[in-house]
Structure 1
Amino acid sequence: MRRIGRRDIVATILIALLAGAVFTSPPLQALQGLSLDILTALRGKIIGDRRDPATSPVVVVAIDGETYDTPPFKGSPTQTWTREIGRVLGSIAEGGAKVIGFDVIFPSSIEQSEISFGDAPLGTRMKGFDRDYLIALRQISDTGKLVLGEILSNDHPERPYRAQQLAVKNNIRALNVHTDPDDVIRRMPLSFSVDGKPVPTMAVELAARALGAKPEIGPSGAMELSSYAIPSAVPNTLTLNFRGLGRDVPTYSFADLRACAEKGDRDFFRRAFDGKVVLLGTILNFEDRKLTSMRLSGGYDGSPAPRCALPARAGTAQQARSDIAGVFVHAAAVRNLIEQDAVTEPGFAARTALTIALAAIIACVACMLAPVGAVTAWLAVIAIYAAFAVGAFAHALALPLVEPALASLAALAMMIGYRFVLADRDERFLRKSFAYYLAPEVIDNMMASGKMPALGGEMRNVTMFFSDLSGFSSIAETITPVELVTLMNEYLSAMTDIIESHGGYVDKYIGDSIVAMFGAPADDPAHARNAVRAALKCHEKLAELNAYNPAFAGHGLSHRIGLNSGEAVVGNIGSRRRFNYTVMSDTVNVASRLEGANKYYGTAIMASETTMAQTGDTFAWRELDAIRVQGRGEAIRVFEPLAEKDAESDRQAKLAAAYAEGLACWRARDFAKAADVFRQMAEADPASALFARRANALAANPPPPDWTPVNVLEGK
């Protein structure tokens, strides 16, 4: 984590202000609506809504597909349905409905038809057809329980035909909705100016009659209804709260209610509509469909209500749709007003402040962390903030979601750009300058502390890795210098990549030799396991290079690797003017000797007992011998790693078991039997061939009683 200076603080503030201001500016106001859509979807997915539709204060009577397919409506013009509509309206009113609102408009009457019918227009022959319907409208309207709908427009207004207007004494309210620039309905108007006076919209009028109150303008300038100050982020609108995604509104098929009225089942109408606000509207697949803030979550055309007379139609299971029937937009508004849970949206200043604050947090994080860490932090912060916003939305508070997310992402990108261009320029120069000479971890410490590296070291438990190519001198004599350099670069690059990918640090190259350590500079509790795993991978990689790399063709390179674990001094070692990050100790010397000891046993990898012990049961091993290396008096038990545990081949397992048996006989001074056991494997295993020769020699000339089964290596 880098330190933050004064310049960084200024940059963080400026970046946060710029990002917040851009993403809350008027040209990007559509993001506010998108936040509502996403919050609605997340709330529906994460929290859901289990409200019983039976408790809804609003119900819908649907002129639906079933109605169009059921006699007497099937095949007849909708203008001829008025008598049946009147009968059903009367039954609903008698059932105790508080108020009935029309989301359908009949702009003309069959009595006005100019279609020729015999020697006179059809309308002339149908005079009086709507009389019963108009009487029903008058009777229900006189009780204050009926409101017809209209569409206000300067160009194409749509109103009920004149006789209906007179019948209801102008109890007519606007059905217009508030559509955002992206053609999505998220808010509903509260009133319209008619003849210079504010007139409530359909939803407000229905809610007011249901509550027995009148809408008023409160001291704050917001409309109030029954002491409820309606929140309005956009003036004179209500932000819709689709809490139940439409499934919380009972929906009755008009065809079933018509049959129920004909049957005279007054009890059903009382159970269904007593104390309810009733909306009459169409629910069809291709008519009056509205995109709302449920467009991402999917909305429902109500919840099927109990039936009265007709059986439920088969195959009518509901599915979520991106659009809903328009009548449910009005139903949601009425319910929000009655239950006082319309969505509250913070004002412009609050949204901007919240957006800038989140952008500032991410900019600060991006200033301290590397890009990958900063992106991870951004994802975590946005996830936490989104969870908080969904929780707030469950209580009808719509915090901005998209604006802070995008502003903080922009702040993240700008801060990374700022660091790349300005702040980290000096650091990159130092890293580039020292990258080929110091361990990455040492450079990190130097950058974090602001100090240049100095002489000094510390004791660490590490695993040393020594490797050397076999017979390299003779190969070097047979190829050109250019070919030699190409070969060595390919080999050293491949081995270094494996070592570093397992957490190792390459200390130095000595010709064709590699000296590396595991467990420093970075702490690594599993350094022994990683070193052994790297050695096995290096051995596999060399076989692959010999087989497929053109630079290795015909050379058949082989290498020896020695591994030893123990305490060592690691740090900056050298003169006061020039030093390297390196390692020193007897642990290093032993690893070097074990690398050379491979040539006596014909093995590729040899590890000390301390390394084997620190790997636990991660690998399959075979014990090779107990040896005494040059310059060291104490004997060392040495082992060969075969493969990962349970991944060794059958051949390796059999070889290890037979070798262990032979070694046990050897140490028990049963040289003849040891020779027989080792001889069986001698042809395929150089180490067994070595012990077979030793055992034969000692079987012919037994050693003295003080003999110890330790092989003394005279060379390196």
Structure 2
Amino acid sequence: MAVAIGRRTRDALAVIVIALACAALFASPAFERARGLSLDALTWLRFEAFGNRHDAATSPAVVVAIDEESYQAAPFKGAPLLTWTGEIGRVLTALLDGGAKVVGFDMVFQTSIEQSEIPLGDTTLGEKTRGFDRDFLRALAAAAGGGKVVLGEIFGEPPILPAPGQRIAVRQQQNLRPLNTYTDSDDVVRRHPLTLSAEGKAVPSMALELAARSLGLAPRIAPDGVTLGDYTVPGSVAGTMTLNFAGGAQDIPTYSFADLRSCALNGDKDYFRREFAGKVVLIGTVGIEDRRLTSKRFATRAEGARRPRCVLGERAVPQSFARSTIAGVYIHATAVNNLVRQDAAIELKRPAVVAIATALALLAAALARVLRPASAAAILALLAVLYTALATALFNHAYALPLAEPLAAGVLALAATTGYRFMVTDKDRRLLQKSFAYYLAPREIERMLASRRLPQLGGETREVTVFFSDIEGFSRIAEQMSPEQLMALTNEYLSAITDVIESHDGYVDKYIGDSVVAMFGAPLDDPDHARSAARAALDCRARLAELNRTSTAFQGIKVAQRIGINSGAALVGNFGSQRRFNYSVMSDAVNVASRLEGANKFYGTTIIASDSTVKLAGDEFAWRELDTIRVKGREQSLSIYELHGRADALTPQDRRLLDGYAAGLAHWRAGELAQAGECFAAAAAVDTPSALFAARVTAACQAGPAAWDPVRALQEK
């Protein structure tokens, strides 16, 4: 048995399904390549907002850079790196004598010049250079005895290993550790191995080994993670840690190898003690080779040795050139710093990421369901900014909230819900907009829909004010003009009057030749419909006066209008056939408004309203009670009023006229004809209604008391 689902329940379920689908999409493996953008963005935002958290001088790890300066300095210029080993051994000894805790090599000398088989005279180059690496090997052996040096190797097929003599000098695997790095699917380094597997055994990486030796601790390696002292290293990928890169290029002190070699030759032991005591030193190349994209790729700066120099003069570092890549040695140095400082980045587990993405997607979908698309997008953008600011602040404490997944899920949920709303939820709204588009102003359609009170198809009873307007003497005007001229005048007049009516929330029902039929209070729910109609009538009178002065279509023609206004209950709705209908109004109130418009012809006025309209409109306006009449088709008498203008715009002369007319009307209704005649005669020369009443009083006096009737019958329109 089918169960009907309400519209609200349907929409709520749709919002939930859309949010869950968007969150699942961006938390799935299909989004893996973009997931790392969160770390990249957070690293950049934190650097821009807070700078670096640590002074470079406090960095546990430092880098000795075999850089371009070293390649160009004597005696290395033009010499292959294999010939540098003796000088490298000299610097290694100076570093350890200066108090460095441990030195790691982020470079692998796979061969030795002593092994060269290149012919040289009657022997080989290797024979001629026997003992060339002796000083280097002695330095390695001395450092290895105290666990002060670690050589790098690279696991792979085949592995990349130091030369045999070097391996022997450092006691083989006792002081050999892998330099392998971990690269995400988009070729960006965001994580670093803690351990690697060799022959089924977990081997600490170079960074973990260096950090452990500097702290005097042995790492505990377990299937569920790595612990260094009391620090359990966090990681979202098994066997790795998430690197917490600082921004810029000054977070890790860097020394030029050429300067340190000259310093060691000079025997400046104080310099080495000042700069390297208690430090983890990494020796590696810093140049165009071995450069990697990392999660600090948006927060890099121009590189160079920025610590105090020992012998060589200060070297200018260009500040305008920054690469998005960094040398590989800084990856290992960053890992060492994170381990020693216990501040590796902490990423949330997948369920937490899904939960956050779902929450933001639900919020975005709900906003799109209840608000306009522009408003929903603006609020979502503000929430995204606030969430990003929170994530940036938390990342300053190593907590990495996801950015890409929830923000992408929120944007997609907003778009999807907007599409759902357009295709399903707003279908009735669009139908109504289409129905009213040709006979209601777009602004009024939007207000009607926003009011959530829609007219019932087929009709409903509403309190409205009906507005009738007509051009005085239109037949006479038509005889004086060509059809083209008459059309231009009529169209300009009707357009102007329509604009005024709609500006006061009125609805133009129909045009009948030069006549305009309008109503206030429907289809819009306007509790001040009578006041709106009165304001519109005054503005229509003013607009016509302006057209008479300025419009080319009105040149040579003085156009006047008559307006009738009446308020009351009416049936409003769509009337007509099944295939063709019109939104209109039907009731006795409509007939009365039409008669009042015609009554202007008799009284020489422009705007006449019924007493029901006057009571609803209030004292904002200056009303003159004209008469009590009985119109054709109605037995009941009706008090009618002229809308003279706005109450606050009356002149003293206007007040005297209205007061005199009111006094005369009171005498007339009391049967005091002589006094009434005096009041009306005082203004008869300048006021048509007063002149009409003066003549009426005279006729009643001549006919006798039997002819006196306080109610005038108007049988013509």
Matched, 1:445 2:463: no
**2-structure distance, mates of 1:470, 1:184:** 85
Once the two structures are superposed, the pairs formed by residues 288-437 of structure 1 within 5 Å of their partners are 288-298=290-300, 301=303, 304-317=306-319, 319-435=321-437, 436-437=439-440
8 Å CA contact retained: 2:67, 2:257: yes
Partner of 1:137: 140
Partner of 1:206: 210
* Aligned partner letter, 1:185: V
Partner of 1:167: 169
**Which stretch shifts more, 429-438 or 450-459?**
450-459
**1-structure distance, mates of 2:286, 2:260:** 15
8 Å CA contact retained: 1:101, 1:149: yes
8 Å CA contact retained: 1:206, 1:334: yes
Partner of 1:23: 26
Task: Report the 3-state secondary structure (helix = DSSP H, G, I; strand = E; otherwise coil) of the residue aligned with 2:319.
Answer: coil
**2-structure distance, mates of 1:174, 1:185:** 16
**1-structure distance, mates of 2:253, 2:9:** 62
The change in CA–CA distance for 1:237 and 1:398 in structure 2 (over 3 A counts) is: same
* Aligned partner letter, 1:189: P
Partner of 2:117: 114
TM-score (norm 1): 0.70
1:119 Cα offset (Å): 3.8
* Aligned partner letter, 2:41: I
Matched, 1:234 2:240: no
**2-structure distance, mates of 1:185, 1:559:** 84
The change in CA–CA distance for 1:127 and 1:411 in structure 2 (over 3 A counts) is: same
1:152 Cα offset (Å): 1.2
* Aligned partner letter, 2:238: P
8 Å CA contact retained: 1:506, 1:514: no
**2-structure distance, mates of 1:316, 1:361:** 47
8 Å CA contact retained: 2:302, 2:318: no
**1-structure distance, mates of 2:108, 2:318:** 27
Q: Which string of whole-angstrom CA distances, capped at 9 and with x for unpartnered residues, describes residues 4-63 of structure 1?
A: 711111111111111111111112112221111111122122232252111111111111
Task: Report the 3-state secondary structure (helix = DSSP H, G, I; strand = E; otherwise coil) of the residue aligned with 1:27.
Answer: helix
Once the two structures are superposed, the pairs formed by residues 217-256 of structure 1 within 5 Å of their partners are 217=221, 221-256=224-259
1:473 Cα offset (Å): 8.2
8 Å CA contact retained: 1:249, 1:303: no
8 Å CA contact retained: 1:110, 1:123: yes
Q: Which runs of 5+ in 1 are unaligned?
A: 547-551, 563-567, 598-609, 612-629, 640-706
Partner of 1:649: none
The change in CA–CA distance for 1:188 and 1:432 in structure 2 (over 3 A counts) is: same
**Which stretch shifts more, 137-146 or 447-456?**
447-456
**2-structure distance, mates of 1:120, 1:711:** 137
Task: Pick one of 201, 216, 219 that aligns with 2:220.
Answer: 216
**2-structure distance, mates of 1:400, 1:215:** 29
**2-structure distance, mates of 1:253, 1:355:** 47
**2-structure distance, mates of 1:90, 1:372:** 67
**1-structure distance, mates of 2:556, 2:146:** 104
Q: Which string of whole-angstrom CA distances, capped at 9 and with x for unpartnered residues, describes residues 500-531 of structure 1?
A: 8xx7645438649899999x97999xx9xx99
* Aligned partner letter, 1:106: F
Task: Report the 3-state secondary structure (helix = DSSP H, G, I; strand = E; otherwise coil) of the residue aligned with 1:372.
Answer: helix
**1-structure distance, mates of 2:558, 2:133:** 104
1:433 Cα offset (Å): 2.8
Once the two structures are superposed, the pairs formed by residues 251-270 of structure 1 within 5 Å of their partners are 251-270=254-273
The change in CA–CA distance for 1:258 and 1:579 in structure 2 (over 3 A counts) is: same
1:169 Cα offset (Å): 1.0
The change in CA–CA distance for 1:273 and 1:315 in structure 2 (over 3 A counts) is: closer
Q: Which string of whole-angstrom CA distances, capped at 9 and with x for unpartnered residues, describes residues 565-611 of structure 1?
A: xxx999x963466549x9999xx99xx99x989xxxxxxxxxxxx99
**1-structure distance, mates of 2:68, 2:472:** 84
8 Å CA contact retained: 1:53, 1:303: no
Partner of 1:652: none
1:455 Cα offset (Å): 5.1
**1-structure distance, mates of 2:507, 2:142:** 99
Task: Report the 3-state secondary structure (helix = DSSP H, G, I; strand = E; otherwise coil) of the residue aligned with 2:255.
Answer: strand
1:222 Cα offset (Å): 1.2
8 Å CA contact retained: 2:113, 2:132: yes
**1-structure distance, mates of 2:526, 2:71:** 77
**Which stretch shifts more, 271-280 or 318-327?**
318-327
**2-structure distance, mates of 1:193, 1:469:** 102
The change in CA–CA distance for 1:636 and 1:7 in structure 2 (over 3 A counts) is: closer
**2-structure distance, mates of 1:303, 1:383:** 37
* Aligned partner letter, 2:187: D
Matched, 1:147 2:150: yes
Task: Report the 3-state secondary structure (helix = DSSP H, G, I; strand = E; otherwise coil) of the residue aligned with 2:76.
Answer: coil
**2-structure distance, mates of 1:237, 1:260:** 38
1:422 Cα offset (Å): 1.8
Partner of 1:195: 199
Once the two structures are superposed, the pairs formed by residues 529-678 of structure 1 within 5 Å of their partners are 574-575=570-571, 579=585, 631=642
8 Å CA contact retained: 1:427, 1:447: no
* Aligned partner letter, 2:143: I
**Which stretch shifts more, 161-170 or 376-385?**
376-385
* Aligned partner letter, 2:77: K
**1-structure distance, mates of 2:501, 2:306:** 67
1:211 Cα offset (Å): 1.0
The change in CA–CA distance for 1:148 and 1:340 in structure 2 (over 3 A counts) is: same
**2-structure distance, mates of 1:114, 1:252:** 35
**2-structure distance, mates of 1:635, 1:234:** 79
**1-structure distance, mates of 2:91, 2:473:** 101
Once the two structures are superposed, the pairs formed by residues 687-706 of structure 1 within 5 Å of their partners are none
1:117 Cα offset (Å): 3.4
1:89 Cα offset (Å): 0.8
8 Å CA contact retained: 1:247, 1:300: no
Partner of 1:283: 286
1:479 Cα offset (Å): 5.3
8 Å CA contact retained: 1:60, 1:281: yes
Task: Report the 3-state secondary structure (helix = DSSP H, G, I; strand = E; otherwise coil) of the residue aligned with 1:147.
Answer: strand
1:394 Cα offset (Å): 1.6
The change in CA–CA distance for 1:123 and 1:444 in structure 2 (over 3 A counts) is: same
8 Å CA contact retained: 2:246, 2:296: no
8 Å CA contact retained: 1:468, 1:514: no
**2-structure distance, mates of 1:242, 1:560:** 81
Partner of 1:663: none
8 Å CA contact retained: 1:469, 1:512: no
**2-structure distance, mates of 1:495, 1:122:** 107
8 Å CA contact retained: 2:303, 2:317: no
